[in-house]
Structure 1
Amino acid sequence: MSVDSLIIDFGKILLSNVTESVGVLAQNSTSKSSTRLLQPLWNLRLGREDFIASPLFPVFLSVSFYFSLCTPFMIADLLGSKLPWMQKYKIQPEKEVTLSQIFDTLNLTFWNHVLYVLPAAVGQWVWTPPTPLPELAPTFWEFVWQQVAALVVFDFQYYVWHWSHHKVRFLYKHIHAVHHRYHSPFVWVTQYLHPWELVTVGFLTTTNTWYFKCHPLTTWSYMLVSIIVSVEAHIGYEFPVAMHNWFPFGLVGGAPKHDMHHLKPMTNFQPFFNHWDKLFDTFCPFMKAGGIKTKALIDYERRHKEAKKNH
């Protein structure tokens, strides 16, 4: 057999082995894909990679989702008594949301986005590389626990930030007092913030997923979940399907808790959960829909009234 024949045969064998190896890898990849519950959702990116990988995509996603989520509640607030089936769930029913309040909160929200969010987005677009888009979706377990972990971390971070901006008079007067202009929250109060608070909260929310090296799908979902929880806390309504009714042992605060924070600003600093407020004795029980005071709230107010008298 000639040398040329040996070389040709060797090449055929090598090519066959490479082809077989690639086939096995492709088969393994397909097998992994088929076992991931979120893979069909992640596959929606196919054909849209340039748009989804852009550093502007998370900004577009969060801003558009925020305004879309808030708008129905704004309409409900403006219709007011024309929607009695919804008004019965209002926590402070005597407080009417007016058109001037809507314009005031939307005006600050608009300029915060123009002057701070937009430049940050442009800078991100210029200096941040496209987001790597892996082939596989995250596992369902990773998708869930990483978002919960990021929420728990943010909850502690904001508790400390929030507490300090109430305890330190300078910080409250010049920064956080903006958010407390309204004692009865409504949906657009969610981002009715001093620029420093907007930037800080945005930075913490964005960076918390970095600690867990989250998949892009997990990161984007966490952003949307954070918006949902924040908006729900400010809508001023307590619906039977509200998130705080899903969890036992008073684990989650929700809109009633944050309404009480706006009424009693030295209480209820925690944005989502209740454990830090209860541990550090800053928890105040809250009113139910229709302005009904619970027995826990009545007892709380009685104890504090007696404590003031004793001092």
Structure 2
Amino acid sequence: MNIFQLASSLHYLVEGFSPAAIALNSTAESFSTIYGTLKTISETDPTSAASALSLVERAWAAWYIWMNNDVLATGLLFFLTHELMYFGRCLPWYIIDHIPYFRKWKIQPNKIPLDKEQWECFKAVIKSHLLVEALPIWLFHPLCATLGISIDVPFPALKVMAAQIALFFVLEDNWHYWAHRLFHYGPFYKHIHKQHHKYAAPFGLAAEYAHPIEVMSLGFGTVGFPIIYAYCTKQYPQLNLPVLHLFTLTVWIVLRLFQAVDSHSGYEFPWSLHHFFPLWAGAEHHDDHHHFFIGNYASSFRYLDYLLGTESGIPANIVRERKMRQKAEAK
């Protein structure tokens, strides 16, 4: 397939970002590497739409052009992003666990995870990624095409992506709260959720250390709501919802991974986000859940546990007991 035929087959080229512009002063070797593809796109006619693309947008387009297979490109992109971002985010916390200086910010300072524990956890998480999560990731692109999730360039406006990601954070947090609370009920805890509570003092790698059923159930909150959003966008055009872009979904998943790993880090710093954004949960919120094995069921925010009386930890128990006494005295 020559350059012109290759470019013509790519349905995401924007107006002005034409096959002719890509083919101009190019050779077949231009697309033999990802760098060569990016370089070719960057050197297109400065009057074309391609010249207005950001570096990230050009890299995104170059990836799909170079792969020349949308299903493979999306599957590999999602799988590599998930693995690199998850373990990449875990690595700093693993290093911090080996530096005594940071112990003063460790929430449970007497419970430092051993290398053996982290290694066993690492093997279990890798196994889960390969056996539970890999197949849905690799088959995601056909679903994107069916639902109209865009892979075009340029990307949507920043405010559109930010609003969609904020919506996904809220929806996921609500789903996580109720699903997590259910997993603490009798047989669900005994046969499923107990695996995640193996570590009473959590560490970064333990974020996705869970039973396959729990991985799929709680994972729905991360991927399911964007799918529902895309479905509503396509089925109910009268809602005028902005189209969901795959890049937005990628950013959302990265942020959700960071949130999950950080909440299991076991460290509470003066600069932790919840000090500046009180609704944010963070490590201190989730560490109490692992420490006391109950309460603090939400993932990203604190308001549901506060409103529904399921806050965990000693201070929350004191407040609940005081309210119960006041209620009893009033009767």
Q: TM-score, normalised by structure 2?
A: 0.71
Counterpart in the other structure of 1:275: 303
Q: Distance in 2 between matches of 1:129 and 1:114?
A: 24
Identify if the C-alpha distance between structure 1 residues 126 and 271 changes in structure 2 by more than 3 Å, giving closer, same or farther: closer
Q: Distance in 1 between matches of 2:125 and 2:271?
A: 28
Q: Is the Cα contact below 8 Å between 1:42 and 1:217 reproduced in 2?
A: no
Q: Is the Cα contact below 8 Å between 2:180 and 2:297 reproduced in 1?
A: yes
Instruction: Name which one, 1 or 2, has greater alpha-carbon Rg.
Output: 1
> Within 5 Å, which residues of 2 pair with 1:85-124?
86-124=102-140
Question: What is the identity percentage for the equivalent residue pairs of Structure 1 and Structure 2?
Answer: 25
Match of 1:41 among 34, 38, 56: 56
Q: CA offset at residue 90 of structure 1?
A: 0.6
Identify if the C-alpha distance between structure 1 residues 170 and 258 changes in structure 2 by more than 3 Å, giving closer, same or farther: same
> Within 5 Å, which residues of 2 pair with 1:236-251?
236-247=266-277, 250-251=278-279
Counterpart in the other structure of 1:208: 225
Q: CA offset at residue 40 of structure 1?
A: 4.4
Match of 1:67 among 87, 92, 105: 87
Q: Is the Cα contact below 8 Å between 2:150 and 2:244 reproduced in 1?
A: no
| Structure 2 SS opposite 1:55 | helix
Q: Distance in 1 between matches of 2:152 and 2:122?
A: 38
Q: Distance in 1 between matches of 2:55 and 2:309?
A: 46
Q: TM-score, normalised by structure 1?
A: 0.75
**CA deviations over 1:89-138 (Å, ceiling 9, x no partner):** 11110112112211221121122122222333444479876974223211
**CA deviations over 1:10-40 (Å, ceiling 9, x no partner):** xxxxxxxxxxxx88xx999959x96xxx944
Matched, 1:256 2:284: yes
Q: Is the Cα contact below 8 Å between 2:74 and 2:138 reproduced in 1?
A: no
Extract unaligned runs of 5+ from structure 2: 1-14, 17-44, 231-242
Matched, 1:137 2:155: yes
Identify if the C-alpha distance between structure 1 residues 189 and 151 changes in structure 2 by more than 3 Å, giving closer, same or farther: same
Counterpart in the other structure of 1:217: 247
Higher relative contact order by CA 8 Å / sep ≥ 6: 1 or 2?
Answer: 1
**CA deviations over 1:155-201 (Å, ceiling 9, x no partner):** 001111011111x2010000001111111111111011001111222
- Considering only aligned residues, what root-mean-square deviation do their CA atoms show, in Å? 3.4
Identify if the C-alpha distance between structure 1 residues 59 and 144 changes in structure 2 by more than 3 Å, giving closer, same or farther: same
Q: CA offset at residue 263 of structure 1?
A: 1.7
| Structure 2 SS opposite 1:48 | helix
Extract unaligned runs of 5+ from structure 1: 1-21, 287-292
Q: Is the Cα contact below 8 Å between 1:251 and 1:275 reproduced in 2?
A: yes
